Amino acid sequence: MVTLGEAVAGVQKELAAAGVPSPMADAHLLVAHVLGVDRPGLARRIVLREQLDDAGLASLAELTARRAAREPLQHLTGTAPFRTIEILVGPGVFVPRAETELSAGVAIEEARRLVEAGRDPLVVDLCSGSGAIAFAVAVEVPTARVVSLELSTEAVGWARRTLAALEAEHEGLEGRVDVRAGDATGVDAVVDLLGAADVVTANPPYIPPDAEPVEPEVRDHDPALALYGGGTDGLEVPRAVVATAAALLRPGGLFVMEHGEAQGAATRAIAGGPGWEGAVTQVDLTGRDRALVVRRAPTVARSSGGPGTP
Protein backbone atom coordinates (compact mmCIF):
# COMPACT_ATOMS: atom_id res chain seq x y z
CA MET A 1 0.00 0.00 0.00
CA VAL A 2 1.01 3.61 -0.53
CA THR A 3 -0.19 6.84 1.03
CA LEU A 4 -2.75 8.85 -0.89
CA GLY A 5 -0.23 11.65 -1.30
CA GLU A 6 2.21 9.23 -2.90
CA ALA A 7 -0.54 7.88 -5.15
CA VAL A 8 -1.44 11.37 -6.36
CA ALA A 9 2.22 12.19 -7.00
CA GLY A 10 2.72 8.99 -8.99
CA VAL A 11 -0.33 9.58 -11.16
CA GLN A 12 0.67 13.20 -11.74
CA LYS A 13 4.13 12.17 -12.89
CA GLU A 14 2.74 9.57 -15.32
CA LEU A 15 0.16 11.96 -16.79
CA ALA A 16 2.70 14.76 -17.18
CA ALA A 17 5.02 12.40 -19.06
CA ALA A 18 2.14 11.56 -21.40
CA GLY A 19 1.51 15.23 -22.15
CA VAL A 20 -1.85 15.49 -20.40
CA PRO A 21 -2.57 19.24 -20.07
CA SER A 22 -3.57 19.30 -16.39
CA PRO A 23 -1.76 16.39 -14.71
CA MET A 24 -2.03 17.64 -11.11
CA ALA A 25 -5.77 18.32 -11.22
CA ASP A 26 -6.45 15.09 -13.09
CA ALA A 27 -4.37 13.07 -10.62
CA HIS A 28 -6.36 14.41 -7.67
CA LEU A 29 -9.66 13.74 -9.44
CA LEU A 30 -8.72 10.18 -10.38
CA VAL A 31 -7.63 9.28 -6.86
CA ALA A 32 -10.76 10.91 -5.43
CA HIS A 33 -12.87 8.93 -7.91
CA VAL A 34 -11.27 5.64 -6.86
CA LEU A 35 -12.00 6.47 -3.22
CA GLY A 36 -15.53 7.69 -3.95
CA VAL A 37 -14.94 11.09 -2.35
CA ASP A 38 -14.81 14.68 -3.55
CA ARG A 39 -11.59 16.71 -3.73
CA PRO A 40 -11.99 18.30 -0.27
CA GLY A 41 -12.53 14.82 1.13
CA LEU A 42 -9.38 13.61 -0.60
CA ALA A 43 -7.42 16.56 0.76
CA ARG A 44 -8.43 15.67 4.32
CA ARG A 45 -7.38 12.04 3.82
CA ILE A 46 -4.03 13.10 2.38
CA VAL A 47 -3.36 15.22 5.47
CA LEU A 48 -4.19 12.20 7.63
CA ARG A 49 -1.74 10.13 5.55
CA GLU A 50 -4.34 7.51 4.74
CA GLN A 51 -3.29 4.71 2.40
CA LEU A 52 -4.66 3.21 -0.80
CA ASP A 53 -5.08 -0.56 -0.65
CA ASP A 54 -4.09 -3.01 -3.37
CA ALA A 55 -7.54 -3.05 -4.98
CA GLY A 56 -7.57 0.73 -5.10
CA LEU A 57 -4.07 0.81 -6.57
CA ALA A 58 -5.09 -1.61 -9.32
CA SER A 59 -8.14 0.46 -10.21
CA LEU A 60 -6.09 3.65 -10.17
CA ALA A 61 -3.41 2.11 -12.40
CA GLU A 62 -6.02 1.20 -15.02
CA LEU A 63 -7.61 4.64 -14.97
CA THR A 64 -4.23 6.35 -15.13
CA ALA A 65 -3.21 4.34 -18.18
CA ARG A 66 -6.44 5.24 -19.94
CA ARG A 67 -6.03 8.93 -19.11
CA ALA A 68 -2.40 8.84 -20.27
CA ALA A 69 -3.73 7.48 -23.58
CA ARG A 70 -5.81 10.68 -23.67
CA GLU A 71 -9.19 9.21 -22.94
CA PRO A 72 -11.25 12.10 -21.54
CA LEU A 73 -11.14 12.41 -17.77
CA GLN A 74 -14.92 12.81 -17.76
CA HIS A 75 -15.35 9.43 -19.46
CA LEU A 76 -13.30 7.85 -16.69
CA THR A 77 -15.22 9.46 -13.85
CA GLY A 78 -18.57 9.34 -15.67
CA THR A 79 -19.44 12.94 -14.87
CA ALA A 80 -18.67 16.49 -15.95
CA PRO A 81 -19.21 19.53 -13.72
CA PHE A 82 -21.35 22.28 -15.23
CA ARG A 83 -22.14 25.37 -13.18
CA THR A 84 -23.93 24.02 -10.08
CA ILE A 85 -24.65 20.50 -11.32
CA GLU A 86 -23.00 17.27 -12.47
CA ILE A 87 -23.75 15.95 -15.95
CA LEU A 88 -23.48 12.24 -16.76
CA VAL A 89 -21.24 11.69 -19.78
CA GLY A 90 -19.47 8.94 -21.66
CA PRO A 91 -18.87 7.65 -25.18
CA GLY A 92 -21.40 9.01 -27.66
CA VAL A 93 -22.03 12.40 -26.07
CA PHE A 94 -20.16 15.69 -26.28
CA VAL A 95 -18.47 16.57 -22.99
CA PRO A 96 -19.69 20.02 -21.86
CA ARG A 97 -16.99 22.69 -21.67
CA ALA A 98 -16.42 25.44 -19.13
CA GLU A 99 -16.86 28.15 -21.78
CA THR A 100 -20.42 26.99 -22.40
CA GLU A 101 -21.24 27.92 -18.81
CA LEU A 102 -21.05 31.57 -19.89
CA SER A 103 -23.69 31.08 -22.58
CA ALA A 104 -25.86 29.23 -20.09
CA GLY A 105 -25.42 32.16 -17.72
CA VAL A 106 -26.81 34.61 -20.28
CA ALA A 107 -29.90 32.44 -20.71
CA ILE A 108 -30.30 32.05 -16.95
CA GLU A 109 -30.07 35.80 -16.37
CA GLU A 110 -32.75 36.42 -18.99
CA ALA A 111 -35.00 33.73 -17.55
CA ARG A 112 -34.61 35.20 -14.07
CA ARG A 113 -35.45 38.65 -15.40
CA LEU A 114 -38.68 37.26 -16.84
CA VAL A 115 -39.52 35.55 -13.54
CA GLU A 116 -39.09 38.89 -11.76
CA ALA A 117 -41.47 40.39 -14.31
CA GLY A 118 -44.08 37.77 -13.42
CA ARG A 119 -43.56 35.22 -16.22
CA ASP A 120 -42.74 31.53 -16.05
CA PRO A 121 -40.33 31.42 -18.98
CA LEU A 122 -40.13 28.79 -21.69
CA VAL A 123 -36.53 28.00 -22.63
CA VAL A 124 -35.64 25.78 -25.59
CA ASP A 125 -32.13 24.34 -25.89
CA LEU A 126 -31.28 23.29 -29.45
CA CYS A 127 -28.45 20.86 -30.26
CA SER A 128 -28.65 20.09 -26.56
CA GLY A 129 -26.17 17.20 -26.44
CA SER A 130 -25.76 16.14 -22.82
CA GLY A 131 -28.49 18.60 -21.80
CA ALA A 132 -26.04 20.68 -19.76
CA ILE A 133 -27.49 24.09 -20.65
CA ALA A 134 -31.07 22.89 -20.36
CA PHE A 135 -30.55 21.33 -16.94
CA ALA A 136 -28.57 24.30 -15.62
CA VAL A 137 -31.43 26.62 -16.57
CA ALA A 138 -34.04 24.33 -15.04
CA VAL A 139 -32.14 23.98 -11.75
CA GLU A 140 -31.21 27.65 -11.40
CA VAL A 141 -34.59 29.01 -12.51
CA PRO A 142 -37.06 26.78 -10.64
CA THR A 143 -40.19 28.07 -12.40
CA ALA A 144 -38.83 27.75 -15.94
CA ARG A 145 -40.19 25.20 -18.38
CA VAL A 146 -37.30 23.80 -20.44
CA VAL A 147 -37.23 21.78 -23.65
CA SER A 148 -34.01 20.02 -24.68
CA LEU A 149 -33.75 18.98 -28.34
CA GLU A 150 -30.98 16.69 -29.59
CA LEU A 151 -30.52 14.66 -32.77
CA SER A 152 -28.20 11.92 -31.45
CA THR A 153 -30.06 9.07 -29.81
CA GLU A 154 -26.97 8.25 -27.74
CA ALA A 155 -26.77 11.80 -26.41
CA VAL A 156 -30.51 11.80 -25.67
CA GLY A 157 -29.98 8.65 -23.61
CA TRP A 158 -27.25 10.33 -21.58
CA ALA A 159 -29.42 13.42 -21.08
CA ARG A 160 -32.35 11.39 -19.83
CA ARG A 161 -30.13 9.55 -17.36
CA THR A 162 -28.80 12.87 -16.09
CA LEU A 163 -32.33 14.20 -15.71
CA ALA A 164 -33.30 11.18 -13.65
CA ALA A 165 -30.23 11.64 -11.44
CA LEU A 166 -30.94 15.34 -10.95
CA GLU A 167 -34.56 14.62 -10.05
CA ALA A 168 -33.29 12.90 -6.90
CA GLU A 169 -31.76 16.22 -5.79
CA HIS A 170 -34.30 18.61 -7.30
CA GLU A 171 -37.78 17.19 -6.89
CA GLY A 172 -40.16 18.14 -9.69
CA LEU A 173 -37.43 18.74 -12.26
CA GLU A 174 -38.66 15.95 -14.55
CA GLY A 175 -42.03 17.66 -14.68
CA ARG A 176 -40.49 20.86 -16.03
CA VAL A 177 -37.87 19.47 -18.43
CA ASP A 178 -38.80 17.78 -21.69
CA VAL A 179 -35.90 15.93 -23.35
CA ARG A 180 -36.78 15.37 -27.01
CA ALA A 181 -35.07 13.52 -29.82
CA GLY A 182 -35.14 15.55 -33.01
CA ASP A 183 -33.33 17.66 -35.58
CA ALA A 184 -32.71 21.28 -34.58
CA THR A 185 -32.19 22.31 -38.21
CA GLY A 186 -35.95 22.07 -38.68
CA VAL A 187 -39.07 22.64 -36.62
CA ASP A 188 -40.83 19.27 -36.86
CA ALA A 189 -39.87 18.20 -33.33
CA VAL A 190 -40.85 21.54 -31.78
CA VAL A 191 -43.81 22.56 -33.92
CA ASP A 192 -45.94 22.87 -30.77
CA LEU A 193 -43.61 25.60 -29.49
CA LEU A 194 -43.52 27.93 -32.49
CA GLY A 195 -43.63 31.57 -31.44
CA ALA A 196 -43.82 30.65 -27.74
CA ALA A 197 -40.22 30.49 -26.50
CA ASP A 198 -38.87 33.27 -24.32
CA VAL A 199 -35.28 32.10 -24.62
CA VAL A 200 -33.58 29.81 -27.13
CA THR A 201 -30.06 28.50 -26.58
CA ALA A 202 -27.85 26.41 -28.83
CA ASN A 203 -24.38 24.92 -28.91
CA PRO A 204 -24.43 23.52 -32.44
CA PRO A 205 -21.54 21.86 -34.25
CA TYR A 206 -19.50 24.61 -35.90
CA ILE A 207 -16.02 23.33 -36.71
CA PRO A 208 -15.10 23.74 -40.42
CA PRO A 209 -14.13 20.55 -42.28
CA ASP A 210 -10.46 21.58 -42.56
CA ALA A 211 -10.04 22.46 -38.86
CA GLU A 212 -9.63 19.09 -37.14
CA PRO A 213 -9.28 19.54 -33.37
CA VAL A 214 -5.74 19.16 -32.03
CA GLU A 215 -6.70 17.71 -28.64
CA PRO A 216 -6.98 13.89 -28.77
CA GLU A 217 -9.75 14.03 -26.15
CA VAL A 218 -11.89 16.00 -28.61
CA ARG A 219 -10.73 14.61 -31.95
CA ASP A 220 -10.87 10.94 -30.97
CA HIS A 221 -13.70 10.85 -28.44
CA ASP A 222 -16.28 13.60 -28.97
CA PRO A 223 -18.86 12.52 -31.59
CA ALA A 224 -18.33 14.03 -35.04
CA LEU A 225 -22.03 14.93 -35.13
CA ALA A 226 -21.38 17.40 -32.30
CA LEU A 227 -18.23 18.88 -33.83
CA TYR A 228 -18.46 19.56 -37.56
CA GLY A 229 -20.99 22.14 -38.66
CA GLY A 230 -21.04 21.47 -42.38
CA GLY A 231 -20.27 23.68 -45.35
CA THR A 232 -16.90 25.22 -46.10
CA ASP A 233 -17.09 27.51 -43.06
CA GLY A 234 -18.62 25.10 -40.55
CA LEU A 235 -21.75 27.23 -40.31
CA GLU A 236 -24.27 25.23 -42.34
CA VAL A 237 -25.89 23.77 -39.22
CA PRO A 238 -25.70 27.05 -37.22
CA ARG A 239 -27.47 28.88 -40.07
CA ALA A 240 -30.32 26.39 -39.93
CA VAL A 241 -30.39 26.59 -36.13
CA VAL A 242 -30.77 30.37 -36.31
CA ALA A 243 -33.80 29.86 -38.57
CA THR A 244 -35.29 27.38 -36.09
CA ALA A 245 -34.72 29.83 -33.25
CA ALA A 246 -36.44 32.54 -35.28
CA ALA A 247 -39.49 30.32 -35.60
CA LEU A 248 -39.53 29.44 -31.91
CA LEU A 249 -39.01 32.82 -30.29
CA ARG A 250 -41.78 35.15 -29.34
CA PRO A 251 -41.26 38.81 -30.31
CA GLY A 252 -38.56 40.22 -28.07
CA GLY A 253 -37.25 36.76 -27.11
CA LEU A 254 -33.53 36.14 -26.62
CA PHE A 255 -31.28 33.80 -28.60
CA VAL A 256 -27.83 32.64 -27.44
CA MET A 257 -25.68 30.45 -29.70
CA GLU A 258 -22.12 29.31 -29.09
CA HIS A 259 -19.65 29.41 -31.98
CA GLY A 260 -15.95 29.22 -32.79
CA GLU A 261 -13.57 32.03 -31.91
CA ALA A 262 -13.26 33.17 -35.54
CA GLN A 263 -17.00 33.11 -36.26
CA GLY A 264 -18.26 36.15 -34.37
CA ALA A 265 -18.75 38.44 -37.36
CA ALA A 266 -20.23 35.65 -39.49
CA THR A 267 -22.83 34.65 -36.91
CA ARG A 268 -23.80 38.28 -36.28
CA ALA A 269 -24.38 38.56 -40.02
CA ILE A 270 -26.58 35.44 -40.01
CA ALA A 271 -28.80 37.07 -37.38
CA GLY A 272 -28.58 40.51 -38.98
CA GLY A 273 -31.88 40.47 -40.85
CA PRO A 274 -34.99 42.55 -40.13
CA GLY A 275 -36.38 39.92 -37.76
CA TRP A 276 -33.51 40.40 -35.31
CA GLU A 277 -32.01 43.28 -33.39
CA GLY A 278 -28.99 44.07 -31.24
CA ALA A 279 -26.73 41.19 -32.27
CA VAL A 280 -23.55 41.13 -30.17
CA THR A 281 -20.73 38.66 -29.59
CA GLN A 282 -20.09 37.38 -26.09
CA VAL A 283 -16.44 36.72 -25.26
CA ASP A 284 -15.21 33.96 -22.98
CA LEU A 285 -12.87 34.30 -20.00
CA THR A 286 -9.85 34.28 -22.32
CA GLY A 287 -11.23 37.17 -24.36
CA ARG A 288 -12.08 35.03 -27.39
CA ASP A 289 -15.33 35.42 -29.30
CA ARG A 290 -17.58 32.65 -28.06
CA ALA A 291 -21.33 33.22 -28.53
CA LEU A 292 -23.90 35.14 -30.50
CA VAL A 293 -26.45 36.98 -28.35
CA VAL A 294 -29.35 38.53 -30.22
CA ARG A 295 -32.96 39.42 -29.58
CA ARG A 296 -35.96 38.73 -31.78
CA ALA A 297 -37.42 42.00 -33.00
CA PRO A 298 -40.45 43.15 -30.96
CA THR A 299 -42.56 43.08 -34.12
CA VAL A 300 -41.70 40.27 -36.48
CA ALA A 301 -43.17 40.26 -39.97
CA ARG A 302 -42.99 36.71 -41.25
CA SER A 303 -42.21 36.30 -44.92
CA SER A 304 -43.65 33.76 -47.32
CA GLY A 305 -40.67 31.55 -46.44
CA GLY A 306 -42.66 30.06 -43.58
CA PRO A 307 -41.99 29.67 -39.86
CA GLY A 308 -38.31 28.99 -40.27
CA THR A 309 -37.54 32.28 -42.01
CA PRO A 310 -34.94 34.26 -40.03
CATH number for position 136: 3.40.50.150
- Give me the residues paired with residue 178 across strands: 147
Mean pLDDT for 194-220 is 95
Q: Is residue 75 part of a domain?
A: no
Whether residue 153 is contained in a domain is answered as yes
Same domain, yes or no: 230 and 101: yes
pLDDT tens per residue, range 59-94: 999 999 999 999 999 999 999 999 999 999 999 999
**Domain match, 138 and 260 both:** yes
Q: Tens digit of pLDDT for each residue in 145-187? A: 999 999 999 999 999 999 999 999 999 999 999 999 999 999 9
Residues 31 and 134 placed together within one structural domain of the fold: no
* Whole-number Å distance between alpha carbons of 294 and 305: 21
pLDDT given at position 255: 98
- Residue 307: pLDDT band (50, 70, 90) is very low
Is 143 found in the same domain as 260? Answer: yes
Q: Is residue 161 assigned to a domain? A: yes
**Contacts for 232 with CB less than 8 Å, ≥ 6 apart:** 208, 209
C-alpha to C-alpha distance for 115 and 261, rounded to whole angstroms = 32
pLDDT score, position 308 = 44
Q: Quote the domain boundaries for residue 161.
A: 80-296
* Shared-domain flag, residues 175 and 291: yes
pLDDT at 300: 52
Residue 304 has pLDDT above 60, yes or no: no
Q: Is residue 150 a part of any domain in this protein?
A: yes
Residues 63 and 93 in one domain: no
Tens digits of per-residue pLDDT, 88-132?
A: 999 999 999 999 999 999 999 999 999 999 999 999 999 999 999
Give the pLDDT confidence score for residue 1 in this predicted structure.
84
Mean pLDDT of 269-294: 94
- Whether residues 204 and 176 share a domain: the answer is yes
Indicate the residue among 14, 41, 69 that finishes a domain.
69
**Averaged pLDDT of the chain:** 95
| 20, 168: one domain | no
The residue out of 14, 44, 69 marking a domain boundary is: 69
In-domain check, residue 30: yes
pLDDT for 299 equals: 77
Q: Tell me which of 35, 69, 103 is where a domain ends.
A: 69
The reply to whether 304 falls in a domain is no
pLDDT band at 225 (very low <50, low <70, confident <90, very high): very high
Whether residue 104 sits in one domain with residue 8: no
H or E stretch covering 132: helix 132-140
Report CA dihedral (60, 62, 68, 71) to the nearest 10 degrees. -110
Q: What pLDDT score does 191 carry?
A: 98
Percent of the chain with pLDDT over 90: 94
CB proximity list for 120: less than 8 A, separation 6 or greater:
143, 144, 145
| Residue 16 covered by a domain | yes
Please, which pLDDT band fits residue 273 given cuts at 50, 70 and 90? Answer: confident
Instruction: Inform me whether the pLDDT recorded for 202 exceeds 80.
Output: yes
What pLDDT is stored for residue 290 in this prediction? 96
Split into its structural domains, the chain has a count of 2
Residues 125 and 104 in one domain: yes
Strand partners, 86: 81
Q: Is it the case that residue 310 has pLDDT exceeding 90? A: no
Instruction: Answer yes or no: do 62 and 86 share one domain.
Output: no
CA neighbor of 112 nearest in space, from 82, 148, 83, 143: 143
- φ/ψ of residue 110, rounded to 5: -65, -45
Say what the pLDDT of residue 303 is: 43
> Residue 291 pairs with which residues in a beta bridge?
258, 282
pLDDT in tens, 1-35: 899 999 999 999 999 999 999 999 999 999 999 99
Query: Quick count: other Cβ atoms within 10 Å of Cβ 84?
Result: 10
Question: Is residue 270 included in any domain, yes or no?
Answer: yes
Q: Note whether 100 and 227 are same-domain residues.
A: yes
